[in-house]
Amino acid sequence: MTTLKERHEINPKDQWDLTTIFESDDQFWDQFEVVKSNINKAEQFKTKLNSSSETLYEAITTLENDSQQLSKLYVYAHLLHDQDTSNSTYSAMENKVQSLAVQFSAAWSYFTAELLSIDESRMKEMIESHEGLKSFEFNLINILKDKPYTLSTNEEKILALASEPLSTAEETFSMFSNADIQFDDAIDQAGERHIVTQGSYSKLMESSDRVLRKNTYNSMYKAYGQYNHTLQSTLSGVVDKHIFSARVRGYDSSRHQALHQNRIDEVVYDQLIDAVNEHLPLLHRYTALRKELLQLDEMHMYDMYTPLVKDIDFKVTYEEAKEWLIKGLKPMGEDYLDIIKEGLSNGWVDVYENKGKRSGAYSSGSYLTNPFILMNWQDNVNNLFTLAHEFGHSAHSYLSRKHQPSHMSDYSIFVAEVASTCNEALLAHTMHQELTDPMKKLYLLNHELEGFKGTVFRQTMFAEFEHLIHQMKEEGTPLTADALNELYGNLNKKYYGDAVVTDENISKEWSRIPHFYYNFYVYQYATGYSAAIALSEQILSEGQPVVDRYVKEMLSAGSSEEPLTVLKNAGVDMTSKEPIVKACKVFEQKLDEFEKLIKSL
């Protein structure tokens, strides 16, 4: 059994370099006190934003500058905490920064509401008369788009006070699902017991042991099934909350409110569902192939996650991964590769697992820092693609911060997964060209097909379910447990086809999905993935002109334009079906390759 290293045993060259943020903890605490003392500056601008252009400009720049410093503090503290969560010094540091952030937010809480009280013509007059305000024009006018849905000061205060009790449904679900629910152990074909948790479920479902998969699946849905009516109540409660908010503010629907807040046209949502539904025969073909390759008389949902290509020796060390990354992203050109090389060699990446290190992977950073990537490296293909994915986020952040002022440097969540997924697609293309081992090619194709299935087909199914349950409630149809089970079961059958048995268990899957409490969030996984595939295809077929456009119009754009405009300028119109259709065509090509290759072996 391999023992994890302590943090101090990890080679410094494999750790991120946080001295680029603060040279020492003492320097951090000095800056902490400066930011803390600056919080009271907020009070001097309260009720005065409309008094003059100069006052508005001073308020905005004060808020922006102090926000930057606060973000810098937070990045330093949370990275130190995540590299060793058992270190109480850094846990306390992170907690103090979070507390400071709460104080900062409270001090400036009046800001947006007061901006919204300014008449649009007055706002334009103030902007026109002050050169400094002109750089904030897009943001200020954008904020005013929420004015028709903003209530009086007293009404807004009531809604703010109501936000905590209105959050009971999702909080109840979260506590139940993460803390209270217990699962039976799953027995494998040898009679061995395996502990089933939220964390272990996915890994167990990938097992080649079908007995273990079935028992894990039954354990999960037995537990959730016992609380079918309780979880119907929590989900119905959060839908009620969304509908209440939309009606009080005057939106057409709960979906209209959720998408308007991100400046997304509802047609994007509808086009996604329509286009994916038109291409469901491709998913049916893939599930039928899975059933055939697994040699099953009857295939259940617990058979959907075990790899079709197994026992492949496809080891990828971190040093090999770096080489693959540079080769894979070559189509992006030298300027982009220079960013990747800088990150790989100048302390952006914390590579290996150590005792106490936070699990998973992410890209972090702020306007005043370089990007940072957390990994827990294992020598496999999945980690290689994770590294490419996180470098997509990091390069996107790096370029947006380099080319945009702070207030325009954060990109919309709608485009957040595009750069990361585009990197993965370009890497996969290069690997297909260079790999000679047919089994490794099969493994890679299986990886891509599963990624598309899970991100485009499955997340679109989630999005369709979420839209339908909100529509039902808005039309006065109660969301009973039976109604939710029937709706979800029918959608599962429609999406996965006749090759898969839709049983009573899978009809209750809705009851364990936390994303249904996120308010029309999941569709963005599918749209982002589709946009990335469409862009990667353009890059590979048309070359540098597309790269230049993509880097300038999207990766460097931040939030200087609406998210749909940013993508359209980069070459993808998400208000049309075309990007979704193109992405589905790529899935079809991969499926053709997979079938042809597996039949040749």
Q: What is the CATH number of domain 9-150?
A: 1.20.140.70
Pairing outcome for strands 299-300 and 186-187? unpaired
For 165, the 3-state DSSP assignment is: helix
Nearest to 166 by CA among 98, 246, 99, 227: 246
Check if the beta carbon of residue 530 is closer than 8 Å to that of residue 418.
Answer: no
Residue 377 tokens, joined: 């490296």
Q: Which two tokens stand for residue 501?
A: 């048995």
User: What CA–CA distance (Å, rounded) separates 213 from 215?
Assistant: 6
- Per-residue HEC secondary structure of 363-412 comes to EECCCCCCCEEECCCCCCHHHHHHHHHHHHHHHHHHHHHHHCCHHHCCCC
Which pLDDT does position 2 carry in this prediction? Answer: 60
Over residues 390-407, the pLDDT tens digits come to 999 999 999 999 999 999
Name 193's bridge partners: 187
Residue found by looking up tokens 């943020």 in the block: 21
Beta strands 193-194 and 372-374, pairing class: unpaired
DSSP reduced 3-state for 540? helix
Domain ranges of the chain: 9-150, 182-226, 228-314+395-601
Give the phi and the psi of residue 89 in degrees, each rounded to 5: -60, -45
The residue length of the chain stands at: 601
Amino acid letter for position 335: D
Q: Helix, strand or coil for residue 278? A: helix
One-letter identity of residue 558: G
* Confidence (pLDDT) at 415: 95
Answer whether 543's CB lies under 8 Å from 385's CB: no
Q: Say if 9-150 and 228-314+395-601 have the same CATH topology.
A: no
Contacts of residue 398, defined as CB under 8 A and 6 or more positions apart, other chains included, come to 339, 370, 371
AA identity, residue 230: T
CB atoms within 10 A of CB 49: 20
- 186 forms bridges with which residues in the sheet? 194
Q: Known catalytic residues?
A: 390
Strand partners, 187: 193
Tell me the β-bridge partners of 501: 300
Return the CA Rg of the chain.
25
Give 338-384 pLDDT, tens digit per residue.
999 999 999 999 999 999 999 889 999 999 999 999 999 999 999 99
Enumerate residues 6+ apart whose C-beta is below 8 A from 428: 328, 385, 444, 447, 448
Class of the 182-226 domain?
A: mainly alpha
Q: Distances from the Cα of 531 to the Cαs of 173, 481, 525, 562, in angstroms?
A: 32, 35, 10, 16
Q: Which CATH superfamily is domain 228-314+395-601 in?
A: Oligoendopeptidase f, C-terminal domain (1.10.1370.20)
- Tokens describing residue 536: 């990667």
pTM of the model: 0.92
Cβ–Cβ < 8 Å for 367, 333: no
Q: Which residues of the chain have pLDDT under 50?
A: 1
Nearest CA-CA partner of 491 in 301, 305, 285: 301
Other Cβ atoms within 10 Å of 576 Cβ, number: 14
* Residue 372, beta-bridge partner list: 364
Residue 176 three-state SS: helix
Q: CA 373 to CA 69: how far, in whole Å?
A: 20
**Residue that has been written with the tokens 């890994």 in this structure:** 203
Q: Are 189 and 209 in contact (CB under 8 A)?
A: yes
User: Taking the chain, what is the end-to-end CA distance rounded to the nearest angstrom?
Assistant: 36
Q: Give the bridge partners for 362, in sequence order.
A: 374
How much is the pLDDT for 39?
95
**Looking at the DSSP assignment, which residues form a beta bridge with residue 350?**
374
pLDDT at 1: 46
Non-local CB neighbours of 178 within 8 Å, separated by 6+ positions: 198
286 by Cβ neighbours in 10 Å (0-12 / 13-18 / 19+) ranks as buried
For helices 168-175 and 228-249, the axis angle rounded to 10 degrees is 150
